[in-house]
Chain A
Amino acid sequence: MVINGSAVAAVRRSYTAKWFDSLPSDVLSRSLSILRHRLVRGGTGVAVVFYAAVTLYAGWLVVAAAQYRPDTRLFPTLVGTAVLALVGLRVVVPGLRRRLDLASGGLFDNLGPDSVDDGVDETVRTGLVLFGWLALLVSLFRLAGPLVAIAVVTGGYVAVHRGTPRTALLLSLAVTAAVFLLFVVVLDLPGYDPLLARLVEGRL
């Protein structure tokens, strides 16, 4: 029996071509896409960031626990490992759900997006803008104290978002007065020594 070398080579090329079609770069990009789509609903990066942060936190805790005594590290290690396993489950279960009857009963619902959307989630970005205002509030709190921070940020927020300076001023005064009355007068809020005051008085 004569083996046709060229035919074998052709078959090999055919299989090789198929194999090359699924080379690592394509497999990698497809895997990443699947991973992203399994984690993300609506195509946002929020889920990726959230679960990455949870993984990092739990992972750090488990590693850091190793330095402690066995009884001290028992619970952190157990719970941290369980959290890591659950995050991993969150990623692979959509692939397993077709094999598990449990999934049809809704036990693992909402684990992945129903649709693919690579658009930017405007709501997330807009919601994060509020944290910019919060950062300003906290910074002013640190620099000048709570009442000044509240007065400035409340008024500034309303002025910027509603464009009505009068409303901004009124609301700013009202909120500051209410906070002063409730927290300072009635509840005797602990005094705060702002940075600016310390700077001015040379106590820094």
Chain B
Amino acid sequence: MTTVEVVFLVLGAVAITSALLVALDANLVHCALWLVVAMGALAGLYGLLAAEFVALVQVLVYIGAVVVLLLFALMLTRAPTGSLPGLNGSTRAPAAVVATATGVILVTTFAVGFGGERLAIRGGDVGSAHRLGATLFSSWVLPFEILSVLLLAALIGAIVLSRHRENG
């Protein structure tokens, strides 16, 4: 077991444990904060897989914007800041069955398909912003432009939805 593998397993355990705490915690704001921990552990995993630009984007956009938006939504919907034991609905047992079945199917598929292969993390310029930027703006320009139109549509949609309606 190399150092990279040990660190990978530790970060993976942190990510899965904090995701489970998002699923099981009774306090809404604590769930959002456990999501921050999970995403931070995932950013560390991306760094170990030689994807450092993706790790930076994960911290900036997911933790810095998405979780902040979630916390704002919790605040604006008057979410109780104490424990809320009624948070789990009546669908807990079927949900656990479906989730376990999903996990088992995915793990089995991956184990059967990719069981013996090993990653060879190359050194050098693999996941840097320079290389990804060059590839993004040469081979992926069309999806990039479509993505910017999508972001514009989402922005306009959010503004239209949150406008105060006039009476009559």
Our verdict on whether A and B bind, yes or no, reads no
